[in-house]
């Protein structure tokens, strides 16, 4: 089994601006710059033969390059159950279309549908039972986040490997957007 997801990598010049905001939340597990991405579809643990089918299906996904921007911040969860803080992605219909195409590829490869509402974002940190007031203060202090526009000319199939320091990601295959 291999843990997989499809995503768009964040360019290092945009990532540097995100790293500069990684402060002020005690015990936050801040993500390294190389882990910054916009998930298109999380596939989960997949058998090797299904991973090969998924790769073949993703290779058929089409789409034009995307012009994207990050804007604002938020959190997943409420109160002491907040488990992540993130940077938002400016609404983009073409990004949503690409995510839907990745969902279709997953279904064609035999994976179950993802029933979660798609919320494009870049995870900045994972939290474990944080102080809600500290999270609120961090959100208020970073809510004006706005990146310069950046162009995404590809998306990738990534594997996720759990380590003592947190998950590490490896690009397994890249698919062009032309």
Q: Which residues are identified as catalytic?
A: 37, 121
Radius of gyration for the alpha carbons in the chain, expressed in angstroms and rounded: 16
* Cα 64 to Cα 135: distance, rounded to the nearest angstrom: 37
Q: How many helices (H) and strands (E) does the chain have?
A: 4, 10
* Cα 119 to Cα 121: distance, rounded to the nearest angstrom: 6
Q: Which residues contact 103 (CB under 8 A, 6 or more apart)?
A: 41, 113, 114
Q: Are 126 and 84 in contact (CB under 8 A)?
A: yes
* Cα 35 to Cα 30: distance, rounded to the nearest angstrom: 10
């Amino acid at each position: 089994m291999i843990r997989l997801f499809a995503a768009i990598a964040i360019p290092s010049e945009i990532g540097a601006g995100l790293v500069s905001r990684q402060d002020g939340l005690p015990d936050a597990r801040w993500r390294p710059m190389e882990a910054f991405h916009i998930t298109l579809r999380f596939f989960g643990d997949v058998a090797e033969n299904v991973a090969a089918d998924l790769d073949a299906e993703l290779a058929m996904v089409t789409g034009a390059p995307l012009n994207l921007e990050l804007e604002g911040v938020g959190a997943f969860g409420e109160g002491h159950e907040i488990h992540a803080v993130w940077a938002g992605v400016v609404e983009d219909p073409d990004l949503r279309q690409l995510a839907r195409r990745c969902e279709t590829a997953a279904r064609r490869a035999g994976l179950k549908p993802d029933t979660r509402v798609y919320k494009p974002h870049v995870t900045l940190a994972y939290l474990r039972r944080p102080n809600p007031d500290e999270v609120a203060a961090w959100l208020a202090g970073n809510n004006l986040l706005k990146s310069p526009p950046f162009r995404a000319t590809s998306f990738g199939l990534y594997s996720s490997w759990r380590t003592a320091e947190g998950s590490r990601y490896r690009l397994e295959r890249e698919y062009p957007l032309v």
